[in-house]
Amino acid sequence: MLLHIPNVLTQEQVRGMRTALDQALDAGSWVDGRASVGDQGAKVKHNRQLPEHSPLAQQLGAVILDALKKTPLFFSAALPLRFLPPMFNRYEGGEHYGMHVDGSVRYAPNAAFPGGLALRTDLSCTLFLCEPEDYDGGELIVADTYGEHEVKLPAGDLILYPSSSLHRVAPVTRGARVCSFFWLQSMIREDSKRALLFELDQNIQKLRARLGDCEETVSLTGNYHNLVRLWAEV
């Protein structure tokens, strides 16, 4: 399921993040994006990113995760269990990222687990921090059984998609594309089951808005939660 989630960040939050990220760029704090990928990814990845353990990345990442807690559409679609700390990347001057698939397991910092806490990457997220008209190219292109889907969203909006998808970032030929990206492990491992639960939850919310909490909507809500109980891994 590929889902556009609007207005995760306010325009004020976006401006604040861009100011801080641009200052870090001027200070020479950004590094080669290949620092966070394996050998296969390094062959096709050409961008820059903020070091993932830098205080600024941690500070801005906390703002993003707090904003997601206040975004019901995101939680309905993702049913998140664990997050990896958000990272930040930048493409300009022809930089791009060739077709690749995200690693199935990554490690989140955790003092109780030497080397980090293992996290299965079920869903990938890209949060745009610049407007589409600020740059040419730079589309996130996600491939699935229905073909390739180009994504280029307004600043503050997020795209959520299965981490199992092949995807790439087209070359940026004008301006700069600045985004946050991160992964999460869902309580529901299978994308098809998450999609069914998301559709059921959205329809229940629409019915409740129209009919209130009648016998039928209460029963459907029970069905939803029983399916989550059946399928969830927590």
- Residues at the binding site for Fe cation are 100, 102, 167
Q: Which residues are annotated as a binding site for 2-oxoglutarate?
A: 177
> Quick one: residue 23, left, alpha or beta (phi over 0 = left, psi -120 to 50 = alpha)?
alpha
Beta strands in 93-221 (DSSP E): 96-100, 105-108, 117-120, 123-128, 136-137, 140-144, 147-151, 158-162, 166-169, 172-174, 176-186
Residue 16 burial by CB count (10 A; 0-12/13-18/19+): exposed, middle or buried? middle
Q: List, as residue ranges, the binding site.
A: 100, 102, 167, 177
The CA-based angle 190-187-98, given to 5 degrees, is 55
Beta bridge partners of 177: 91
Which DSSP letter does residue 170 get? P
